Amino acid sequence: MIELIKKLYIIAGKESSRISKMLFFEVLKSVFEGTGVGAVMFLLLRVFQNIFDHRAVVMQDIYVLSGVALLGVSGKILCAYMADRNKFIASYNMGAQNRLYIGDKLKRTNMGYFGSNRLGNISGGLTTVIGELETVGINIIETLFVGVIQTVIMALFIFPFDAVTGIIILITLLAGMLSNVIFQKKADEMTRKLQSLKINLNATTLEYVKGISVIKSFGKGKEMIAELDGDILKNRKGFINVEKTVAPAALIFLAIFKLGVCAIIFSAVMRLCLGTIMPYKAVMLIVSSFMVFSGFEMAGSMQHVRGVAVQNLDAITKLRKLPTIPEGDITSLETARADVKNVKFSYEKQPLFDGISVVIPEGKTTAIVGGSGSGKTTLCNLISRFWDVDGGEILIDNKNIKEFKYDSLLSEFTFVFQDVYLFDDTVKNNIKFGNPDAGDNEVIEVAKQAQCHDFIMKLPQGYDTVLQEGGSDLSGGERQRISIARAMLKPSKIVILDEATSSVDPENEEQLMLALNNLLKGKTVLVIAHKLETIQGADQIIVMDRGKIENVGTHKELLKKSDIYKKFISQREKAIKWAIEK
């Protein structure tokens, strides 16, 4: 239990004081409960004593003890309210704060992390695990804590009343704790396995749902369902195994307390028969034996889920400790020139760049061309620090990009990717994502320039139409144009385009290119281009070949000095000719 509470404090952050208040009120609640029960016992004892001795019942005693009992009950109710209030506020605040904290860390995590950790692990952590902590986790911790405290306090109240019973209670408590220690290790091991099975199932389900169109188109439904079924069956087996381990442990735990109750009753009856205690005291001890272990028994019934709470807390702590890339404190840049200097980079053990150097001039358009897998995307990802270089350095504004605050550096980049992601929000907000401070007129202006105003106006609620997740209710070209409008609105100095116009139909493409050119004027543009017009119009072209920078120059220069470029251009021209003839 102490381990659980310690783990809870690690992730509690600002809510630590509320957790402390919750625990404090739980202790106070148990004290009030003990006082109430103790008072009732003394009250009954006096009444029985008087009746037994054929004396009149002293009313003043009854008033005082009734008052104490009332105080105990009212205090208990008040403390229960305060404990619950602090518990609920702390658990939901903690959930939200941990999601935000982990979300923020994910933003500053090296992209390599996402490669080696399935999306399901991360999303499972952020949704299921934190969700479980919010709803059941904190209740488990509270019940375990209350169970132990309540029994200990009850034992303390009974001790002065009858030392023999007090000792029986303490022995029973120790035996219960011992059985707990013996079985807990095994149960924890099982729940750890179960937790990883749950996360795996989460990941497979997510993959299945996300890739449903690909699965269908390749007729792989049966194989994927088989994998999903396999994971579901493993989960079922895992749950049954946990129950098989925990059920006997819970039974032994319960049996110990029932034996404790029997021992109290037995000792009371024995002593009554021996004449060492009065009958009314024996009655009181027998009555109290049914109450004294109730808290601990309740805690025992939670043992099977205690492991889940520990696993959840560990999973959250692990996500909180995500390695983030180190950052500096520069928050702005004057010039947007990028210098790639002798950069070395490998994907895990797969070397890609072995000392490449190139200059991306400020305010100009640089096109990157090269065969598939030559390293175009990787170069852009290194310049924007999605990944960190293994050797050499990348300077922007003559400063190593590692010296910038990561958020500030990223705010100077606008990306237009081939895979467009739109949020489950209105069209207007999707565009405003590029600049939340932009006014409606600015949104409409960029939408017009990105050639999306007309189709937006045809949507049921125009700019206020809520898009389905990922913009799945729009065509690929429409999604891409909205993403271009969004990019246009972002006030950044550097723009990275990854074949941004590939899904735009020919009739809009010319206008879109014009709009893009107008808006990108003066910015440092890095475009991974396959279209001849984009390449020919660029101020500088970088030719990449299998992880090397083969050549750099203008279209005219490269036609003279680069065979790879010449071949690339002639392939493009052939492709266009083939398309026209077709």
Ligand X SMILES: Nc1ncnc2c1ncn2[C@@H]1O[C@H](COP(=O)(O)OP(=O)(O)OP(=O)(O)O)[C@@H](O)[C@H]1O
Which residues contact ligand X (rule: CB under 6 A)?
A: 115, 347, 350, 352, 370, 372-378
CB of 365 to ligand X, least distance (A): 18
d(Cα 438, Cα 434) in Å, to the nearest integer?
9
Which DSSP category does 110 fall into? Answer: -
Residue 520, by phi and psi: left (phi above 0), alpha (psi -120 to 50) or beta? alpha
**79 and 26 Cβ atoms separated by less than 8 Å:** yes
Structure tokens at 484: 């271009």
The H-or-E segment that residue 357 falls in is strand 350-360
Q: Encoding tokens for residue 191?
A: 């729940």
Strands (E), 59-152: none
* Residue 377 or 400 having the CB closest to ligand X: 377
Question: What are the DSSP calls for 424-450, one per residue?
Answer: SSBHHHHHHTT-TT--HHHHHHHHHHT
Number of Cα atoms under 13 Å in the Cβ half of residue 173: 21
Alpha-carbon Rg of the chain, whole angstroms? 35
Amino acid at 254: L
Through-space distance between the first and last CA atoms of the chain, rounded to whole angstroms = 74
Output 116 or 441, the one with its CB closest to ligand X.
Answer: 116
**Minimum CB separation from ligand X for residue 528, in Å?**
6
Shortest reach from residue 113's CB to ligand X, in Å: 11
Residue (49 or 117) nearer to ligand X, CB: 117
- Least separation in angstroms between residue 370's CB and ligand X is 6
Token digits for 445?
A: 């202006």
* Residue 377 CB, nearest approach to ligand X (Å): 3
Which CB sits closer to ligand X, 284 or 382? Answer: 382
- When the beta carbons of 128 and 374 are compared against ligand X, the nearer one is 374
Q: Smaller CB distance to ligand X: residue 239 or 417?
A: 417
- 353/463 with CB nearer ligand X: 353
Q: How far apart are CA 106 and CA 95, in angstroms?
A: 16
Closest approach, Cβ 255 to ligand X, in A, equals 56
Closest-CA residue to 464 (of 430, 422, 490, 437): 430
In the complex, least distance from residue 390 CB atom to ligand X, rounded to whole angstroms:
13
For ligand X, the closer CB: 204 or 374: 374
Shortest spacing between CB 338 and ligand X, in angstroms: 17
Q: Beta partners for 343?
A: 356
**Type of residue at 49:** Q
Give 113 or 239: the residue with its C-beta nearer to ligand X.
113
| CA–CA–CA angle 420, 426, 431 (5° rounding) | 55
Provide the minimum distance between the beta carbon of 495 and ligand X in the complex, in angstroms, as a whole number.
Answer: 17
